[in-house]
Structure 1
């Protein structure tokens, strides 16, 4: 049995320049480390991110308290545990915290340790990380949901919708999917330059031009798709992340303009956008507690992928409520929303059992850690959302998937969507 000898943590920095937790776990002289990501647009029901609010040296954003907990209590409790027993390791971490949303230790401390353990287990077994998850054969590559224009909380422009993405639906391989996105992004860059706008990027690598309405952004994307020689809605589809939690007041929404309107009017406007721009996927179209709005919307959009992010927060209890309410048909998977690898895998397993698409996702504050790329392949999740082809913390995941495709060789196939 490979027994854990110690766990060490340190403060490192994420892609937004904020402190975060890196945990390194040891079995004798072997070790693996993992970095916890951090979100900007977060759901109320997410697992808790613990920071040193009283430490003004880092503006209250440092993570020395959870690091101290890892180096002392967690390291001591995990010593001599079997590195290959992920469920046992995660159970110990969950029990140590003892709160529903991991508020005592913090999910940022717990997750960093949990991911590092999964990595080291694969390293000791001498297998790729993707082979250490749910699926043991017939691995498939996910389609990228690639962010190309940023708005909302991820940019300083006037766009209400947070992410405008493309999905290369006709790609026959992952490398071909990336090539298609690459061409569209470069043509989009040319168009933005021609308009006299900046081609600087937002938190997740997408362009953040000073455009003030959703339709202008969508028209620009369609133009870039056409210019690239592809057909919108066939070769490449437009997908949206609305992040409606940021756009709600008194049960009304300001998704389509700064004016707050009813759920019914918001749905009518969504349907217009879907038909006009052939939109195939919409994430978080309504607020995290507005179950009725989700159910009403899904009943009118059966052919569109309706994705729950803030609605489900990678939480099995909330996913079951959503399933019973017929609220969505897909779920976004973010490890740090729930806090351990074991709980994440439980959610993925149930979601796939009930016929939901599972979309593995990064966070706006991410790192060079490529864990989610392997997670997507190892769970046969049919899509991955990890930003644009800009900023190395985003591109690192795509590069890892290219490597996995190469390792799989002739057995490398794309998933179904």
Structure 2
């Protein structure tokens, strides 16, 4: 008692008498005997166990709110069988520790299918160290730092995690400086003898001025240093997500509702929308067996008037037809005609395997072939590109640069300068106007070409920075998303990205009138929380890869569930048309599309109602 009273002597007889008097007054003021009698009378016909249950529920309201008591990190496997991090949250509920939930985060490492064994082995070691360090952080310092904090206080949790991470960054910096100073003090470096520079070669008569200089007039900009990723940083993002999920479960809310509340703390939205799907159907990039390198992913985007489930069903049918097409034997060679490229068009398409992105890897020799394949299949199914669905291309230009030549290798043996790439993209959009998005058309270093393609195509399709974009922490530190110049960004939940960071970066993107695309990592986990994050943050598109591989299908299924819940609650909002800077569709067509979306989603039923939280037992609305 003395310790609880702060050493003021509350264990004395006088103090005990005062506490008894306060308890008696509380007993009388709240009429405890009467309330207990009413409770017992209301449960007179119940079994004793039911009576005790009612009493337990009554007194549980007076219990202390749940607080975090332990955080556990474990090394598990992702969808490719590679190590990643799992985080479990334990909370103290009515004086007992209870395991509430767990999440699995994807690592930031890219998947290199055709790489040198030495590089693959080095990355394997780096990945293993990153996960092991993250597990250590979670099980030692982070679990101690978060003890006693309510999981509903996401801002406080994220601030604790941010401070912890900043300390780790400082420790790493000091360690590297110490190692560098020790190396410099122990290893004497002799000064090299620098010979005098040779005299310039004599200019021969008749040699034209600047002939050789024109080739090196604009040297290729070397790649920027890779943004450093602190070993173990995935612990921050994983714990932040796990705490958010814990708070949602304890509040009996879906995770997307809690994320939306973080995004809109002042004004609770009455509608939530399902992001438009970017579904990868074909992969024919650098790792494919064909000559074409340019298209890492050919992506289909269903019309916004369709539900997510309807869009996926349509794309599944297209994928089936692709499978049938690549299994067909090639036509006889005698049927090929000169001048029409008939031989190439009729060649058997080779598929090596299912890509790690969940789509088919197919060998192609020209840029048009995969687009013509999808266009032909859509025509056979009665679908129209540009109306029922649209296309997007992930160029992954950073994988195409041949630094020895200073050019992009768009096809094996075919190299183009950055300026020539602009013409290539303009010509491609001219031939295939159903392409509404180009992802990473250039390396991030080619800022001049980003400006050029945005000026040439920014009014006809979205120019998206994916790998060319800075990391979320860098974007927030700079407060600038306009470099390189683009229409939108792909953001991912990896490394030290907290829930607060995701809210802040999407607010930044929204304020700049850019579009936000929530993307999955190349090596994904089976955790479906990414779908909740995308819906709660209100991003425009979600890019999950293909319609195969369990770690990706899990997220599509989660989107279907969220969509059904929003329809039942009458809180599913409209999706916007795919218009670019006012684009080519008139207001009447946009209105018709909105009406179609309303009929599909069941929007023309009831007036809007709050979604926070959705009440249990609410009558399902008819779509």
User: Which TM-score applies when normalising by structure 1?
Assistant: 0.89
For residues 253-277 of structure 1, the C-alpha deviation after alignment (integer angstroms, 9 at most, x for no partner) is 2235543322221010011111212
1:110 paired with 2:236, answer yes
Q: Hey, what's the Cα distance between the residues in 2 that align with 1:188 and 1:322?
A: 41
- Alignment correspondent of 2:14: none
- Alignment correspondent of 1:124: 250
1:174 paired with 2:314, answer no
- Alignment correspondent of 1:297: 453
Q: Hey, what's the Cα distance between the residues in 1 that align with 2:321 and 2:387?
A: 18
> Residues 385 and 353 from structure 1, CA distance in 2 versus in 1: closer, same or farther, beyond 3 angstroms?
same
Higher relative contact order (CA 8 A, sep 6+): 1
- Alignment correspondent of 2:219: none
1:228 paired with 2:296, answer no
Displacement of 1:93 in angstroms is: 1.8
- Alignment correspondent of 2:149: 81
> Residues 313 and 118 from structure 1, CA distance in 2 versus in 1: closer, same or farther, beyond 3 angstroms?
farther
- Alignment correspondent of 1:215: 368
Displacement of 1:325 in angstroms is: 5.2
In angstroms, what is the RMSD of aligned CA positions? 2.7
Displacement of 1:94 in angstroms is: 2.3
SS of structure 1 residue aligned to 2:414: coil
Q: Write the mapping of 1:118-197 to structure 2, written as runs, cut at 5 A.
A: 118-133=244-259, 134-135=263-264, 136-137=268-269, 138-152=271-285, 155=288, 157-160=290-293, 161-194=295-328, 195=348, 197=350
SS of structure 1 residue aligned to 2:362: coil
Contact conserved, 1:187 with 1:227, CA < 8 A, in 2?
no
> Residues 60 and 399 from structure 1, CA distance in 2 versus in 1: closer, same or farther, beyond 3 angstroms?
closer
Structure 1: gaps of 5 or more residues: 43-51
Q: Hey, what's the Cα distance between the residues in 2 that align with 1:8 and 1:321?
A: 34
Q: Hey, what's the Cα distance between the residues in 1 that align with 2:91 and 2:401?
A: 49
1:284 paired with 2:440, answer yes
Q: Hey, what's the Cα distance between the residues in 1 that align with 2:130 and 2:483?
A: 40
- Alignment correspondent of 1:49: none
User: Which TM-score applies when normalising by structure 2?
Assistant: 0.61
Q: Hey, what's the Cα distance between the residues in 2 that align with 1:385 and 1:13?
A: 22
- Alignment correspondent of 2:101: 32
SS of structure 1 residue aligned to 2:384: coil
1:259 paired with 2:425, answer no
Q: Hey, what's the Cα distance between the residues in 1 that align with 2:106 and 2:290?
A: 24
Contact conserved, 2:110 with 2:523, CA < 8 A, in 1?
no
> Residues 363 and 188 from structure 1, CA distance in 2 versus in 1: closer, same or farther, beyond 3 angstroms?
same
For residues 40-78 of structure 1, the C-alpha deviation after alignment (integer angstroms, 9 at most, x for no partner) is 549xxxxxxxxx97997x995672222122111111111
- Decide which structure has the larger Cα Rg and report it: 2
- Alignment correspondent of 1:357: 515
- Alignment correspondent of 1:311: 468
Deviates more, 1:241-250 or 1:318-327: 318-327
SS of structure 1 residue aligned to 2:442: coil
Aligned pair count? 407
> Residues 16 and 212 from structure 1, CA distance in 2 versus in 1: closer, same or farther, beyond 3 angstroms?
farther
Displacement of 1:153 in angstroms is: 5.8
Q: Hey, what's the Cα distance between the residues in 1 that align with 2:473 and 2:122?
A: 30
Deviates more, 1:222-231 or 1:148-157: 148-157
> Residues 353 and 316 from structure 1, CA distance in 2 versus in 1: closer, same or farther, beyond 3 angstroms?
farther
Contact conserved, 2:304 with 2:575, CA < 8 A, in 1?
no
Aligned counterpart in structure 2 of residue 14 of structure 1, from 63, 78, 81 = 78
Q: Hey, what's the Cα distance between the residues in 2 that align with 1:343 and 1:254?
A: 36
Q: Hey, what's the Cα distance between the residues in 2 that align with 1:342 and 1:23?
A: 18
Contact conserved, 2:130 with 2:231, CA < 8 A, in 1?
no
Q: Hey, what's the Cα distance between the residues in 1 that align with 2:235 and 2:533?
A: 19
Displacement of 1:212 in angstroms is: 3.5
1:269 paired with 2:424, answer yes
SS of structure 2 residue aligned to 1:254: strand
Q: Hey, what's the Cα distance between the residues in 2 that align with 1:249 and 1:153?
A: 12
Contact conserved, 2:236 with 2:495, CA < 8 A, in 1?
no
SS of structure 2 residue aligned to 1:255: strand
Deviates more, 1:345-354 or 1:62-71: 62-71
> Residues 113 and 284 from structure 1, CA distance in 2 versus in 1: closer, same or farther, beyond 3 angstroms?
same
> Residues 239 and 384 from structure 1, CA distance in 2 versus in 1: closer, same or farther, beyond 3 angstroms?
same
Structure 2: gaps of 5 or more residues: 1-64, 93-97, 112-120, 171-226, 329-347, 579-623
Q: Hey, what's the Cα distance between the residues in 2 that align with 1:39 and 1:54?
A: 12
